[in-house]
A and B are shown apart, each in its own frame.
Chain A
Amino acid sequence: AQSVTQLGSHVSVSEGALVLLRCNYSSSVPPYLFWYVQYPNQGLQLLLKYTTGATLVKGINGFEAEFKKSETSFHLTKPSAHMSDAAEYFCAVSDRAAGNKLTFGGGTRVLVKP
């Protein structure tokens, strides 16, 4: 079975500072990996995804993530936080052997301080 662990349920950053959200996964097959963002009272929006090829993936809103197979990690970063980045972020892995079912991590809530 696949699983996703997000380290830190809450992260507080200052505006303009680096945002780093950690995600580790377990998968028996090469994974598809995703980061989603959820704003209050809204559904999930796809930030970026890794399927194959280049391990550094760029997404929307200035976010990027790097797939590191040896570390089974897919950490999300943004060089400079903006107030609008305050939201909850979810890492997910897709099980290609089971209908592309998504397994989500527990989420990390980001607070941006002015």
Chain B
Amino acid sequence: EAGVAQSPRYKIIEKRQSVAFWCNPISGHATLYWYQQILGQGPKLLIQFQNNGVVDDSQLPKDRFSAERLKGVDSTLKIQPAKLEDSAVYLCASSFLTSGGLYEQYFGPGTRLTVT
């Protein structure tokens, strides 16, 4: 079974530039998540999709971050304009509902963003 795919793996941009990340979840997983992991911290949820609808975007800085999941499969996360504090690893995860009522999340390798 193929895992969660993300690209690019690394990106370096200057502040005030724009950047986009792509995620392809595991086939059949209806739920997709974007996390931000700042160096030395645990991942923080930015946005959660159920199919192509947003379930939770309460911690997404909407003045500069946007995300979409067209057709309920692939997703893109965009930052425009980037700030120095956006330097982090951006993790994508997808999940399915187990028979026990648990959403078990599978993570991609992440995109490491450096803003200079």
Contact (Cβ within 8 A) A99 B102: no
B16 in the interface (beta carbon within 8 A)? no
A43 x B104 contact (CB < 8 A): no
Whether A49 touches B107, Cβ cut-off 8 Å, given contacts A102-B45, A107-B42, is no
A92 CA to B35 CA in the complex, in Å? 13
Of the residues B55, B103, B109, contact of A42 by C-beta under 8 Å: B109
Chain B residues 38-95 with CB under 8 Å of chain A are 40-45, 48, 50, 55-56, 91, 93, 95
Interface residues on A, range: 20 to 34
**Is the CB–CB distance between A43 and B41 below 8 Å?**
no
- Residue A94 at the chain B interface, CB threshold 8 Å: yes
Q: Is the interface of B mostly helix, strand, loop or mixed?
A: strand
User: Which of chain B's residues have a CB closer than 8 A to the CB of A101?
Assistant: 45, 48, 56
A106 with B41: CB separation less than 8 A: yes
> B25 interface residue, CB < 8 Å from A?
no
**Range class of the B interface residue count:** 20 to 34
CB <8 Å contact, A41 and B109: yes
Q: Which residue of B lies closest to A100 (CB)?
A: B103
| Complex Cα spacing A43 to B101, Å | 24
A44 CA to B43 CA in the complex, in Å?
10
Query: Which A residues are in CB contact (< 8 Å) with B48?
Result: 99, 101
Contact: B43 with A90, CB < 8 Å?
yes
User: A residues engaging B (CB < 8 A)?
Assistant: 4, 9, 32, 36, 41-46, 49, 51-52, 90, 92, 94, 96, 98-107
Residues of B at the A interface (CB closer than 8 Å) are: 4, 33, 40-45, 48, 50, 55-56, 91, 93, 95, 100-110, 112
